[in-house]
Structure 1
Amino acid sequence: MNEDAELAIEAVRRYSAALERIRACLLDAYPDFGCVLDLMVAVGHTRALPRQGKSSTGIEYSVHGVGCRMTDQQGWEVDVDLVDGVEAFDAWRIKWFLDEQSDARPSVEELGRACSYLSGLGELREMRVGRWYALPDR
């Protein structure tokens, strides 16, 4: 494996870890919610929450179209869309995250290959071949 591929794999792992941490912190503020879909229902259908807000745990969220952007207190932002009801991301979302938080600059193509590789190891789930990925079921 070459150095560029290793950098891309590490970048995807950093995004995944940030997503897991920020998502958990957001959901900790809403004990009745099991996932981001529940937040989106509270925003869109029941209107119990505003489209943009800040949780009691300090995570800012912004519901958009079929997804949600979440930002922690340090300014780290992760974004997911719902794909078949599952919180999913693509290489572009990882690239955007990296551009905001890191000196590593793998290409979108390298990140896509890294996602496919990590899904083969079981570290990610491939929701749509070569396009959408999700955190593994825990």
Structure 2
Amino acid sequence: MSRLFLTKRRPTKCFLPKARVIGAEPAYDLLIVSECRPAETLAAHGTIPFNHGLRGRRMERVGDARGLVLGYVDALNAVDEAMRAAIPSLERLADVLGLVRSHGIINRSGQVGTYSYSVHGAGCRFVSDNGIEVDVDFAPDGSEIFDLWRLRWYGLSLPEPLDVTDQDLRTAVRSLQPLLTEVRPGWFSVAS
């Protein structure tokens, strides 16, 4: 799973110990890495997790489609972490569907940790305790996919809602490639 990190340095190369860079977004001083050490170790390298208390303020300040897309990816990662911590049998977020449909281990909707969830069709809608909504579908291979509608709904659910146009979102998502991949027309996934 990838993680977003704010960095005090221009993210052009990997300076984090035991991390593999899979992308960077210099305009936002973001580094997207996988296999990271704990946040306290990263802090010594001038880097903090994107969701480490700054996401809300940064999203309120940035107020644009690219920031919204990056915030959605960060929120999706936070949902994944919280669900896997609460349900140890989850290997990936898509396994929620199987737990509901095949095994009846969890209900179609409910509360897990600080998130309420509601399984629908090919995906699940998660709502954090502060009202932020992250709706995601799952591809047949279990990867998390989302479209412009889900990004827009996420933006509208923020404490200070961001209402951006579909065109702005489309431009933002395409500008973030190869960090994001268009898996089918209008549907995107975070590159692995």
TM-score tier after normalising by the smaller chain length: 0.7 to 0.9
Deviation at 1:105, TM superposition (A): 2.1
How many residues matched? 128
Long gaps (5+) in structure 2: 1-62
In the alignment, which residue of structure 2 is the partner of 1:133?
188
The answer on 1:97 being equivalent to 2:154 is: yes
> Structure 1 segments of 4 or more deviating over 4 A?
none
Report the Cα offset of residue 18 of structure 1: 1.2
Distance (whole Å) between structure 2 residues aligned to residue 51 and residue 134 of structure 1: 24
| Residue deviations 1:60-82 (CA, integer Å, cap 9, x gap) | 11100110011111111100111
Q: Which has the larger radius of gyration?
A: 2
Question: Which residue of the partner structure matches residue 58 of structure 1?
Answer: 114
SS of 1:126's partner is: strand
Aligned to 1:75: 131
* Normalised TM-score (structure 1): 0.84
Q: Is the 8 A contact 1:18 1:78 kept in 2?
A: yes
The whole-number CA distance in structure 2 between the counterparts of 1:113 and 1:44 is: 36
Identity of aligned residues (%): 30
Deviation at 1:126, TM superposition (A): 2.2
Provide the residue aligned with 1:110 in structure 2.
168
* Aligned-residue RMSD, C-alpha: 1.6
Alpha-carbon deviations, 1:29-66, whole Å to 9, x = none? 111111122111010111111000111x2221110011
Greater fraction helix: 1
Q: Which structure 1 segments of 5+ residues have no match?
A: 1-5
Q: Is the 8 A contact 1:36 1:68 kept in 2?
A: no
